[in-house]
Amino acid sequence: MDLTELVNVCVTDLELTGDPGMAMSSLDAMLSDCQFAALSNASNYGNGTYKPPPELKPCPGDCSGNGDCVHGVCACAPGFEEEDCSIDHRQPPSFTGVAGGGACAINEEECYLPVLVGGNIKPGDTSCYARAMQKGLNGKWTMDTTATENKAEFLSTNHAVCNLPRLELSRGQAMAGFMVSLSNNHGTSSSPERPYYLYNSRCMICHDGNCTIKPDTCVIENTCYDAGDLDLLDNNGACQPLVNNTAWSSDSGASPNAPPSATLNKYTSADVGCFCLFDPSSAECACCQNAGCQCSRAHKHACYDCLHPEMCGQ
C-alpha cells in the first residue's frame, strides 16, 4: 500500500488547523484503506467466507500509538487507558485553544458553549475551569481569583464543549471574557489557562483573540458608542473617532479644519468624526442627530434640517 498521499494530507491539515484530532482522522483513513486491501486479497477467503489472519483485525484508533493491538483488542502501555489507549491518566489534558478562534461576538452568537481543542480529554471525567474577566474603566483587565468548575461535554479525546457560566454584562459593554483550563481530576492538575474573549461586534473587531476598535466607533469606559453619540451623563462631548476613540471629545479636541462650535446646532452632535456622504472613505464630516442631514463638502462640519438645505450656508 502507498500511504504517501494520506500522510501529506495529514501534515497539511495539521499545519492549517493545529488540531491534533486531524491526525487521528488520517489514521482512520489509513486503517480503512488497509481493511479494503485485506478485503480485496483473495487469500483471505475460504469457501467464500472472509477469514483474515488475526493480525489483520483492527484495533480502535490503532491503540493511539500507546499500546499493542492483539487480535483486535488494545493492550495499553503502563499509564494509558480507554479502549484505544488514548488517555494518559498521569497527565492533565492539553488545551491548545478554542475552535473558531479565541473570541466570540456576544451580540451575535451563542458564546457560552465553546468547543475546546486539546488532547488527553477523558470521557466522563474532564471538567473545564473558568475565571471570569472584566475590563475596567481604566482599560485594564481584572479577573476572579478562583475558578469555577463547569461541565465539559466529551466529543472526542481532542474536543470538549465547555458549559461556561453566564456573565452579567451591561448594555453596550464592549468586552468581557474568561481564563479557561481543563482537568481530568477535578482541578488537582489542570492544563495551562488560555483567554477566551467575549466582544461586542458593534464596536469591536476580533480575530484569533486580537481585538481592535472599529474605525467608526468609540469604546469609552468599556462601552460601545457610534460616531456622533453624545455623553448624556456628564456632558463631556461626543464620540469623535478621528480625534479620540477611547474618550469623549469636546470642541477643543476637534479637527483644526473644523468650523467654530456654533455649527453644533440642533441637528449637529459633533463637527467631525463621521463618514462623509460625498466621500465614504473620509470621516472628517459632521455627525448628525435629530434626523438631520450632512451638508455638502463646502460645509461638511455641519448638519441641517433635511427639508431646509439653505441652513448649511448660515
- 80 and 9 within one domain: yes
Is residue 202 domain-resident?
yes
pLDDT of residue 51: 62
- 189 and 240 within one domain: no
Number of domains in the chain: 3
Q: Which domain holds residue 15?
A: 4-88
- Strands 175-183 and 127-135 come out as antiparallel
CATH number at residue 108: 2.60.40.10
pLDDT of residue 15: 74
Is residue 189 domain-resident?
yes
Is residue 42 domain-resident?
yes
Q: Which regions in the chain score pLDDT beneath 50?
A: 252-263
- 170 and 110 within one domain: yes
Is residue 220 domain-resident?
no
Domain end call among 88, 116, 144: 88
Domain end call among 57, 88, 119: 88
- 124 and 76 within one domain: no
Given the C-alpha cell 452579567, which residue does it identify? 168
Q: pTM, whole model, 2 decimals?
A: 0.64
- 178 and 118 within one domain: yes
- 124 and 37 within one domain: no
Helix axes 21-39, 4-17, angle to 10 degrees: 160
- 118 and 152 within one domain: yes
Is residue 223 domain-resident?
no
The string of pLDDT tens digits covering residues 64-96 is: 889 998 888 999 999 898 888 988 988 999 999
- Report which residue type is found at 196: Y
Please state, as a whole number, how many other Cβ atoms lie within 10 Å of the Cβ of residue 4. 8
Q: What is the Cα–Cα distance from 154 to 122, expressed in whole angstroms?
A: 7
- 101 and 206 within one domain: yes
- 142 and 74 within one domain: no
pLDDT of residue 310: 82
Q: What is the Cα–Cα distance from 291 to 40, expressed in whole angstroms?
A: 75
- 267 and 201 within one domain: no
- 59 and 14 within one domain: yes
Q: What is the Cα–Cα distance from 226 to 245, expressed in whole angstroms?
A: 10
- 104 and 83 within one domain: no
